[in-house]
Structure 1
């Protein structure tokens, strides 16, 4: 009789601890997830601002190395635009950069840039002229900002 009471007590304690541990785990990981969410929401903009400030400091007095280079190469380069504080961060893709600065009508150029940059494709003189014209328009938009 006592053995059954002891086993029943141990069983009830075991079940209680099991459910309690599950609740503690859920609470702990919920708090951890909230902390990560808040930290990433705060740290991301702070790190971007820090990077922007550091790029401003390092770009003072430097000349653009883009003079005489191909327009399509210039589309992916951020050094010229860093003079007006709209430069592409090293971790940004061309698409992310242009979305950040408000250039949204250039999906065709982004795809062409990626094909030339990563796929080794070449384009006809007509396509190159059209792309160069569009990139000059985008450059002007950046200067107007």
Structure 2
């Protein structure tokens, strides 16, 4: 049976490193993956009707991939700043940075996927919808960019 002080046998665990390292920036690639998959199904369906528009329809997939790069940038910044002497304040800032880029990337990826799927299919039937699709995709991408900006501000404090 374990004694009541079993934790004294273990080396000191840094709670600060836990918060800094386990931020939710892992949600960011999930949004990018969803956006890529959802837009890809739209491209596959559109390519049956209008195969000449395939290269023009890759834009939503590229924009979804950019969302993952935002998370990578913040992950590298956070990983390079983790040390045994990190303060609890700094680790909570890093947690906030990860939450910011992760959850905004998840939302942006979902928006890009839905808009990309419907926009690509609509553009195949009515080419005039292309400019509108691109504008809406830009607005969806900016959601992830806002999260990156907030994360950079938080992680560099």
- The structure richer in helix per residue is 2
| TM-score > 0.5 by shorter chain | no
Name the TM-score, length of structure 2 as normaliser: 0.25
